[in-house]
Structure 1
Amino acid sequence: MKGKTIVLGITGGIAAYKGAALCSKLTQAGFDVHVMMTEGATQFITPLTLQALSRNPVHTGVFEEQNPNVITHIDLADRADMIIVAPATANTIAKMAHGLADDMLSSTLLAATCPVVVAPAMNVHMYEHPAVQHNLRLLAERGVTFIEPETGQLACGYVAKGRLAEPESIVAIVCDMFAESARKPLAGKKVLITAGGTVERLDPVRYLTNDSSGKMGFALAAAARDFGADVTVVAAKTTAKIPDGISLVRVESAEQMLEAVLSRFEQSDLVIKSAAVADYRPVVRAESKIKKSGDRIMLELVKTTDILQTLGERKTSQFLIGFAAETGDLDHYAMDKLQRKRADLLVANDVSEDGAGFNTDTNIIRIYDKDGLVEALPIMSKLDAAKRVLKLASERMTQTEAKEVRE
């Protein structure tokens, strides 16, 4: 971690005292730590303590310029490899969500382009308040990474969720994030991803489809690209921005998607079926526009070929990940789908939850393998969720390869 600059923002909650331990451990890990404290934070812990631990000046006021050659909050925003806000109070989270810049920390955050990590700490009722949850979702949509508060004894006397994560846990997560970005766990691998919603035409102007935007599929593609993979996306109808550095194959129907995937399946190392594929298609597609006649019209539908199941039956060495969008009883349906379709991992979400449905920039996913639930992730950006899925997949693939070598 040497050579990496971290701006540590400490805000005015009782957990500010843990900021000293966090600062110390980050410095010991090799980071160049620059501390910013809100006025409230200075009521709980002195700037001198943080200065001694970080070996750098501590910044408390946006007008306290110590170097006439630079504007400090812009300079540190440019230099920072990461900004960590810990503890993050409800007030600071609200400032971040709504773009306020009335102190040193909020001004620096508004000018920053580096990754931002936020570790909330507050009373459980404050944390669960709709306004705070709304602000957390807004920030997650913008790519902010959250370190969830822990459950335990709170300063107010409650035993509930709201405690700042322990400094050791925060440092471990931060180091892991830097290590992840430095290495390429999927280097040399061919990754095939499906995205978007398929279109099943009734006639030249009408069709059956779904609400998928392709955001999750393209997030997976961007993450796989950043992990060093050679990425191909087979995409149906999408509205999301297409990431750079990938190969894109456009299709329309479920049958076209099946053909495109099968033609590339044997050459792939990792296949992720994140597209929302139609389960049924019209038996007959009219060659010209169907004219209105009568009060009712009858449509006869036939089942489409199940792409995930077909891949599960044909896979040899490929690592196969399926997706399931449900509206309830998530564990049951996810495990049933994983087992029937022979997937190695299955990622499920309840699309009826706020922040987890179609067209959102966030997701709330649960990841399963043959033994059951592997990991339940809180609300986060789809890109962050994609990275977690790919990290787990790359670890499983490495374990399999190592086992084959031993055998």
Structure 2
Amino acid sequence: MELTSCDTFVALPPATIGNRIIFGKNSDRLSDEVQEIIYFPASFHSDGKKLECTYIQIEQVKETYAVILSRPSWLWGAEMGANEHGVCIGNEAVWGREAVCDEEALLGMDLVRLGLERADTAEKAVTVIVDLLEKYGQGGNCSESMVFSYHNSFLIADRHEAWILETIGQYWAAEKVEEGVRNISNQLSITTKIDREHPKMREHAKDKGWWDGQKEFNFAAVYAPLNSWITASSGRYYEGCQLLNKHKGNMTFETMMEILRDKESGINMEGEFQTTGSMVSVLPSDPSLPCIHFFTGTPNPERSVFKPFIFVPNIAQLLETNSPTFGHEDPVKKKPRFQSKPDRRHALYLKHEQAIEIIDSNEERGRKMLEKMKTLEKEMLKEMESVLQNKDLDVNRAVKLFSQCVKNEMKIYESKVGS
């Protein structure tokens, strides 16, 4: 099995329409892994409080921001998400000359959530992540079904700019993106434009004999593995660049959804590793306009509905996309870990799974179901565009916006599944 996972994209003015930044990610994971959409409100914490992440405890901060996450339901962190300040983060598995740490530390997915909970700008999220990386390190198994560990890269965006952060062990480089388009995949992509870096990154490379100290420093060339076995990632990275540049100048959130649905490029992945969840966010530069975040919460964006979420006070809990919890009996928490695998499917996932069986087995019923799914999504996209164009956000509707859209999606599946 070829291990490949994830593509993350960002488009900034003048590549976009409407003076907005558009963020998108496909989370590509093992095909039987359930991804949930879960909301955590802002919170204040007492001094000295400890925070239990996927594998380790760390020090909690006094204040954490409200976040919406798309995450593999067995872990604490997230594959992608956004916070109340319009910061979005997605991560990628990468490999390099430094060995991956097998010891349990912070997962890259933990760092995604921590960056969102603790930073109100993209650059501050970079600082949060690298400080935690320095203090606690990264490591541990990234799957509950197989041995799978990696270093991490991150694409971080807010209303004004984006940052690429790429890490190999404790060493890292960051690139600021202020216009145009950019994407990351399962390979190092920062070359000579380095805007922030680990203070000993170059010295370490020189000591290892990877860099002579004379040539212009190229992070990807120096730290990438000599014999990279992630052969598909370079193809997806290139295809992602091509798709972004194809739409450069007229990029919208609908265009980003089309990119995430593209199968020919391999970005919408199928097989043992598949796209298990997708996210698109629109981040207007005008602070009077809301950031809008769309999530599927189900596999294969081509056969899923992107549903909108807007941060407002008193958000209704997203019960239909929250997976069951198992507390201290969860096989992730018990040692030795992962001795069994519980059923983590949430209500939407179960209904969607049944619907896909019909789509695959009954052409006519499947066609009608897909049409209704597309109609629901188009109605929501039209409504969200109106919110951005006319500044007419109905806060009371936004409280239940995502959860109501999920219920409407489930009604489509229920009406056809039961017929």
Same fold, TM-score > 0.5, yes or no: no
Structure whose residues are more often helix by fraction = 1
Q: Which has the bigger relative contact order, CA under 8 A and spacing at least 6?
A: 2
What is the TM-score when the length of structure 1 is the normalising length? 0.25
What is the TM-score when the length of structure 2 is the normalising length? 0.24
